[in-house]
Structure 1
């Protein structure tokens, strides 16, 4: 499988990374968390590395309006997290799974607020297909975000949730990427050694709407 050097650097670095190095939240041992998966799809546009992200519809009951990776619950009909991630990617963005090469599945992480045990599926977009909003009741917009925009120190900050929790965030393409998605991207960049120094004292308060309150 042919994978560009920049992506191989990321996959090689995170291949054996334990869950606790990717997030402070790992699934409860009692198995009560709901199985889910996300598609971390990296590609290139005109030779420029990027990642596929969606903005959730503002009408949703959970994580309304937030930027996230395509993904969702692993259904009984799915053949595990990879099958679920590719299915959700197609349903949310219209991408053609035939052009996607799955490289690895990262350790399962936990989103406490929704009690999801999430398996991140990291993949290479070997043959990119057109993408866009398929169902406006679920997804508000679909974006291919260049990695150099995410890595630009000018676009990095931390946000403080009304609960008091502070975490990394990105301002790109008129979007605020925060929460689980931003945390996973930030750890991925750090572990793979492609991160750039940024001002961690730049902290902004999340508004009630942005925080899903």
Structure 2
């Protein structure tokens, strides 16, 4: 087994189950798939903001945990029916990104020893996740999020049994859910979403589930991973909705069974 060190935390890409290997082995393509759905003018704006942040020393380092759970073996050889992905919904009272679905994670603390440490620490603080029950596999390429100014590193991990997870602090987190990956794959749960203060050219992939609307950075990353892993099914990219209209459907539509 090959090991790559990340600030004292060991990454083991070879520890991925067979059904997850297509994503792990082609992880370099996730950012490319992510950027493919971003309009050229928006991508240019993001690239310029990233370059400015790098030159001025602005922006903060952050990391999120992308935790897949499920059996080691798959009868079909592909995505198991009971594979799931850990997702949270931020509290509606928060100043930034209130009510938004996200991977557990956040800004790096001075004492953190790399992005894996950040992602695991934040996941424990938000969901009570026991980091000893999972295996970090790889880190995806760092991505810049202009609205928040964060340079985010997604940390891909796997567990056959992550143990109990739940909301730890209701002031920060409203929902913690292990969402079936097939709920994201289901074309009936997919749409494009844009914010009313922007234009339809800013629309990005979103997932309408029974407890949440997954959109923005998280929706983009999940959509890109489905494409790269070969799990995505054809869906209606012409179904474009304003964010508030899409949010109003939460709890009334979608096929996810958390």
TM-score for both structures, normalised by structure 2: 0.76
Give the deviation of 1:21 after TM superposition.
Answer: 4.1
- 2:213 alignment partner in structure 1: 176
Greater gyration radius? 2
Gaps of 5+ in 1: none
Out of 178, 181, 185, the position equivalent to 1:144 is: 178
Q: Contact (CA 8 Å) 1:158, 1:202: kept in 2 or not? A: yes
For residues 198 and 192 of structure 1, the distance between their equivalents in structure 2, rounded to whole angstroms, comes to 16
Give the deviation of 1:19 after TM superposition.
Answer: 3.9
Q: Contact (CA 8 Å) 1:101, 1:126: kept in 2 or not? A: no
- 2:244 alignment partner in structure 1: 207
Q: Contact (CA 8 Å) 2:34, 2:223: kept in 1 or not? A: no
For residues 15 and 155 of structure 2, the distance between their equivalents in structure 1, rounded to whole angstroms, comes to 18
Gaps of 5+ in 2: 1-13, 36-42, 72-79, 248-258
- 2:26 alignment partner in structure 1: 13
The verdict on how the C-alpha distance between 1:101 and 1:20 changes in structure 2, with shifts beyond 3 A counting, is same
**Secondary structure at the counterpart of residue 127 of structure 1:** coil
Q: Contact (CA 8 Å) 1:145, 1:173: kept in 2 or not? A: no
Is 1:22 aligned with 2:34?
A: yes
For residues 182 and 120 of structure 1, the distance between their equivalents in structure 2, rounded to whole angstroms, comes to 13
Out of 69, 90, 97, the position equivalent to 1:43 is: 69
**Secondary structure at the counterpart of residue 96 of structure 2:** coil
Matches within 5 A, 1:1-213: 2-14=15-27, 16-17=28-29, 19-23=31-35, 24=43, 25=46, 27-28=50-51, 29-30=54-55, 31-44=57-70, 48-162=82-196, 163-164=198-199, 165-207=202-244
**Secondary structure at the counterpart of residue 124 of structure 2:** helix
Kindly provide the CA deviation profile for residues 112-166 of structure 1, in whole angstroms up to 9, marking residues without a partner as x.
1110000010000243110000000000010101011110000000012121221
TM-score for both structures, normalised by structure 1: 0.91
The verdict on how the C-alpha distance between 1:132 and 1:18 changes in structure 2, with shifts beyond 3 A counting, is closer
* Bigger strand share: 1
Kindly provide the CA deviation profile for residues 61-120 of structure 1, in whole angstroms up to 9, marking residues without a partner as x.
100000000000011100010000000000000010001100000111011111000001
> How many corresponding residue pairs?
209
The verdict on how the C-alpha distance between 1:59 and 1:209 changes in structure 2, with shifts beyond 3 A counting, is farther
* Bigger helix share: 2
For residues 142 and 125 of structure 1, the distance between their equivalents in structure 2, rounded to whole angstroms, comes to 17
